[in-house]
């Protein structure tokens, strides 16, 4: 198991649509990859992680949501597609590729998603609230869309100075303890 380095805003792979996965091709490497993805999320307190956030051009993501009354909800989505959405949410969102940045983003309140799970079996997920938000956020990543590009232009411009400041800090983090060999 290993904590993977998370790509930060500005790295090209975050703005590229990921490749659809052939389950047979990744089957052998998948368990170790998913272990790393969940370990990486745990290390940084993330709710979701898309494969391209750790530098892999694969249409798959992992989500882990803490619950008060039950074990965390952990789910893997491979080649996910949204088949239905309804309602609207307008809440703060953050992203592991933009550490320290939060912005209010409009999302559907409920989504129905079809995907393959970690065993390669077709699943259908009905989600709402934070779970629905996480699914949409991760699927945007897989389409090469980062969350701030969902903001209206004016809000995006206003964020720019804060973003430049944060970027300088991410560089320092990357050069020190975020290197995989240091963990
Ligand atoms: Zn993100």
Nearest-CA neighbor of 54 among 76, 39, 42, 37? 37
What string of DSSP letters covers 28-52?
Answer: TTHHHHHHHHHHHHHHHT-SEEEGG
How many angstroms separate the alpha carbon of residue 95 from the centre of ligand 1?
4
Query: At residue 179, what are phi and psi to the nearest 5 degrees?
Result: -65, 130
Q: How far is the CA of 141 from the centre of ligand 1 (A)?
A: 6
Instruction: Respond yes or no: is residue 175 known to be catalytic.
Output: no
Provide the whole-model pTM: 0.92
Confidence of residue 65 (pLDDT cuts 50, 70, 90): very high
Tell me, in angstroms, the distance from the centre of ligand 1 to residue 30's CA.
21
Whether the per-residue pLDDT at 1 is higher than 90: the answer is no
pLDDT band at 181 (very low <50, low <70, confident <90, very high): very low
Q: Ligand 1 center to residue 121 CA distance, Å?
A: 25
The yes-or-no verdict on residue 182 having pLDDT over 70 is no
Residues 6+ apart with CB under 8 A from 39: 1, 2, 3
Report the first-to-last Cα separation within the chain, whole angstroms: 11
Kindly state the DSSP code that residue 63 receives in the 8-state scheme. Answer: E
CATH of the domain spanning 12-178: 3.90.45.10
Name the catalytic one among 84, 138, 175, 181: 138
> How far, in Å, from the CA of 9 to the mean position of ligand 1?
10
Which residues have CB less than 5 Å away from ligand 1 (the ion)?
A: 95
State the pLDDT confidence band at 175, using cuts at 50, 70 and 90.
Answer: low
CA angle at 7 for the pair 73 and 112, rounded to the nearest 5°: 35
Does residue 166 have a pLDDT over 90?
A: no
- Cα(159)–Cα(1) distance, integer angstroms: 36
Q: Which two tokens stand for residue 112?
A: 């129905």
Q: How far is the CA of 16 from the centre of ligand 1 (A)?
A: 14
Q: What is the largest CA-CA distance in the chain?
A: 46
Most confident of 124-133, 156-165, 167-176: 124-133
Confidence of residue 29 (pLDDT cuts 50, 70, 90): very high
The pLDDT tens digits of the residues spanning 128-153 come to 999 999 999 999 999 999 999 999 99
Question: How does pLDDT run across 48-64, given as a tens digit for each residue?
Answer: 999 999 999 999 999 99
At residue 43 the predicted structure's pLDDT band, cuts being 50, 70 and 90, is very high
What distance in Å separates the CA atoms of residue 145 and residue 130, rounded to the nearest whole number?
A: 19
Residue-level pLDDT at 3: 94
Q: How far is the CA of 59 from the centre of ligand 1 (A)?
A: 14
Mean pLDDT, the chain, whole residue set: 92
């Amino acid at each position: 198991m290993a904590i993977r380095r998370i790509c930060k805003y500005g790295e090209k792979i975050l703005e590229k649509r990921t490749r659809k996965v052939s389950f047979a091709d990744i089957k052998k490497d998948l368990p170790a990859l998913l272990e790393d993805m969940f370990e990486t999320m745990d290390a940084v307190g993330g709710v979701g992680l898309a494969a391209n956030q750790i530098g892999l051009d694969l249409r798959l993501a992992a989500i882990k949501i803490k619950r008060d009354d039950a074990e965390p909800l952990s789910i893997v989505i491979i080649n996910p597609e949204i088949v239905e959405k309804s309602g609207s949410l307008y809440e703060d969102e953050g992203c592991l590729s933009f550490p320290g940045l939060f912005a209010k983003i409009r999302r559907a309140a409920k989504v129905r998603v079809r995907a393959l799970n970690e065993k390669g079996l077709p699943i259908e997920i009905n989600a709402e609230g934070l779970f629905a938000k996480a699914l949409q956020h991760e699927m945007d990543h897989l389409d090469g869309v980062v969350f701030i590009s969902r903001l209206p232009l004016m809000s995006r411009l206003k964020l720019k100075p804060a973003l430049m400041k944060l970027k300088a800090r991410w560089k320092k983090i990357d050069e020190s303890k975020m290197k995989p060999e240091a963990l």
